[in-house]
Chains A and B, each alone.
Chain A
Amino acid sequence: MAEESFLTDDFLDQLISVGEVDILVGVPTHNNAKTIGSIVETIQAGILTFFPRDRAAIINADGGSRDGTRQLVVSAAIGDAQSSSKLYALRTLRSISTEYASSPASGTALRTILAAAELLRAKACAVISPESTQVTADWLAALLRPVYAETFDLVLPTYRRHRFDGILLTNLLYPMTRAVYGLRIREPYALEFAFSGRLGSQFLAENAWHGETARAGSEMQFTLAAIAGGYRICQSFLGAKEHVGRRSADLVPALRQTVGALFSSLEPNFSVWNTRTGSQPIPTTGAKQEFSLEPLRVKRKGLREMFSTGVAELESVFQSILSPSTLAELQRIAGLEEASFCYSAELWVKTVYEFAAAYHKSVISRDHIIQALAPLFRGRAFTFLMENRNGSAADVEDNIEALCLEFERMKPYLLKIWNGRE
């Protein structure tokens, strides 16, 4: 139990008083007073409804909230959930809160939850984001049952999303993870997921919990570790997910914690992915993915402008990362009018693969490589918006599928440039 050392004595005492549990639900928080009360109640209701005979605990890992989030978690009494849902627990359901640091770090929050799960010998664990205001009690069942009853090791979510929501997921993370690792995982970066105690302990022991990992990106690394470790993975459809969660200004941190984690996973897992071709579907409960089509006003023009500016201003940086032909093609499209602008799937895939190879070779600072991808992603996002502005849900899905197939088709190019000079 080497992981005990970074947990506070008070937290350890509370965990010891709980004993062992069957189910653990972790909620990482930081100043989520507005939503945390209802989310904890929903979790309690979910446990009472679907796991009334099982020993369960809710663990809140807090990153230094100053708005009373922790107090709200602890004071969310089981009685509230019982009276509102008319459900009764047959076992004690404890809510424990700990402050892992004075500033938020999602990696450390996950580590705290994993360590608590290991200490409590939890059989199945779920992590619920405090920002998911649409969480329902059914989410608990959808996430935990495959682990608890069907021996899956990792359950990832699928959602009903707006067609333009999560463009980084649909245009890079999903297609590249699918092409490289050969598994069709729609949400490789998930903020709601469930896992077995076995997988949790393994990741806790093997992951390097320092530096960038401690701050962010560990959710993505968790998924990639499960894929590379050959664990049983499935997907569960949860329902609607809000389409406006993060602002576009958050793009660089988002790239760091997802694309950075994906690129850095390629090196240690080379033997896992270099021989895989094509991709396989994974067991999925409910819909694979759903798209909502309600109208959305989006700043398309700004995306293209930032792409063009980025290509012009970062030429010296791109010369270190991209091949001359790719850079020349990017410079050509950067000069096109809005109406004729098209960042094709083939060029996008080539760009991403060349970035991955440059990251592997550390041609410049790795963080700079990730930052340099941001303006190019904006260009691709613009094309995606234009291509799908009048499309139906099926059209959007077809476009994403075509991009995925392009990523798979061009995987030999990634292998070629991985160690080569090109």
Chain B
Amino acid sequence: MWKMIVSELTQAMQELARGFAHILPRIIVVVIMALVGWAVAYFLKVILRSLLRLIKFDKLSENAGASQLLTKASLPSATDLLCRFVFWVAWLGFILLGVRVLGIVGLQEQIAKFFLFLPRLFVALLIMFFGLLLATFLSRAALLAAVNANSPSPRLLSVSVRTIIIIFVLSMAFEELGVAEQTVLVAFGVAFGALMLGLAIAFGTGGKELAQQFLEKRFGQERKDEGKEDELSPL
């Protein structure tokens, strides 16, 4: 009896040792992959940081209005954020490659899905960044043009332009990520439609006065011209 117990225990220990001997090299591979991955990720981070500083990415981000958003959210600068993102994606990529060696059932499929998702995430981030850049540029252009044309409510016009573009960009980014595509599409349609309806009602309600102002301005101008009031030549 005692002999049997000892034999079973020995066999179990041997199997455990065999299993350990079987898994240990794989764990070592994972650790090595993690270490190499950390080094590669760190190297990529340093290279990317230098590159982004060279192209003055922070200034570009400031122009896009992204820096202000990041500051409000108590997040690091755009350069720092992008570098950290690349570092973690690269390191995680290496670790997951290492984990594949462990041969855990079902994990490989998830890892493959993760790697397939990465390009889409990157494209979505790019869409967001350049969309924000475009929204800031066009809303500022609208604001300046409205102020210099002495139009009523320049800021409203500028905010409307910005909002429309951001809604459009967000819907594009979510579509790229494949997150609730139908919901996003419907939400975009509803938001865009509501905005247009709001603008239509606003113009409809205020249209009478605006038309009156326009005509007054027009005829007033003609009257002033008749009165020979000169406009100054800047040059």
Q: Which 5 pairs of residues, A with B, have the shortest CB-CB distance?
A: A168-B234, A297-B229, A371-B144, A248-B231, A246-B233
Q: Is the CB of B147 within 8 A of A375?
A: yes
Q: Is the CB of A314 within 8 A of B144?
A: yes
One digit per residue, 1 when the CB lies within 8 angstroms of any chain B CB and 0 when it does not, for chain A 240-270 equals: 0001111111111011001000000000000
Q: Is the CB of B230 within 8 A of A371?
A: no
Which of A165, A255, A374 interacts with B233 by CB under 8 Å? Answer: A165
Q: Is the CB of B234 within 8 A of A248?
A: yes
Q: Is the CB of A298 within 8 A of B144?
A: no
Binds A, one of B19-27, B32-40, B91-99, B148-156: B148-156
Contact partners of A306 in chain B: CB under 8 A:
147, 150
Contact partners of B78 in chain A: CB under 8 A:
none
One digit per residue, 1 when the CB lies within 8 angstroms of any chain A CB and 0 when it does not, for chain B 191-235 equals: 000000000000000000000000000000000100111111111
Give the contacts of B140-173 with A (CB-CB under 8 A). Answer: 140-141, 143-148, 150, 154-155
Q: Is the C-beta of B63 less than 8 angstroms from some C-beta in chain A?
A: yes
**Separation in Å of the A106 CB from the closest CB of chain B?**
12
One digit per residue, 1 when the CB lies within 8 angstroms of any chain B CB and 0 when it does not, for chain A 373-404 equals: 01101000100000000000000000000000
- Distance, CA A330 to CA B224, complexed state (A): 30
- Distance, CA A251 to CA B95, complexed state (A): 61
- Distance, CA A385 to CA B230, complexed state (A): 13
Q: Is the C-beta of B137 less than 8 angstroms from some C-beta in chain A?
A: yes
Q: Is the CB of B148 within 8 A of A299?
A: no
Contact partners of A255 in chain B: CB under 8 A:
234
Q: Is the CB of B137 within 8 A of A251?
A: no
Contact partners of B233 in chain A: CB under 8 A:
165-166, 243-247
Q: Is the CB of B234 within 8 A of A251?
A: yes
Give the contacts of B49-77 with A (CB-CB under 8 A). Answer: 59, 63
**Separation in Å of the A330 CB from the closest CB of chain B?**
14
- Distance, CA A298 to CA B148, complexed state (A): 18
Binding site for A on B (CB under 8 A): 59, 63, 137, 140-141, 143-148, 150, 154-155, 224, 227-235
Binding site for B on A (CB under 8 A): 164-169, 189, 243-252, 254-255, 258, 296-299, 302, 306, 309-310, 313-314, 317, 362-365, 368, 371-372, 374-375, 377, 381
Q: Is the CB of A317 within 8 A of B234?
A: no
Q: Is the CB of B140 within 8 A of A364?
A: yes
Q: Is the CB of B147 within 8 A of A258?
A: no
- Distance, CA A368 to CA B63, complexed state (A): 12
Which of B137, B146, B228, B235 interacts with A297 by CB under 8 Å? Answer: B228
Can you show 12 pairs from A to B with CB atoms below 8 A apart?
A168-B235, A243-B230, A245-B235, A247-B233, A258-B235, A296-B230, A297-B230, A306-B150, A309-B154, A363-B59, A363-B63, A371-B144
- From known contacts A313-B143, A313-B155, infer whether A247 and B231 are also in contact, taking CB-CB under 8 Å: yes
- Distance, CA A166 to CA B232, complexed state (A): 8
- Distance, CA A297 to CA B145, complexed state (A): 27
- Distance, CA A192 to CA B72, complexed state (A): 54
**Separation in Å of the B142 CB from the closest CB of chain A?**
11
Q: Which residue from chain B places its CB closest to the CB of A306 in the assembled complex?
A: B150
- Distance, CA A356 to CA B59, complexed state (A): 18
Which of A166, A302, A363, A375 interacts with B234 by CB under 8 Å? Answer: A166
Contact partners of B148 in chain A: CB under 8 A:
251-252, 310, 371, 374-375
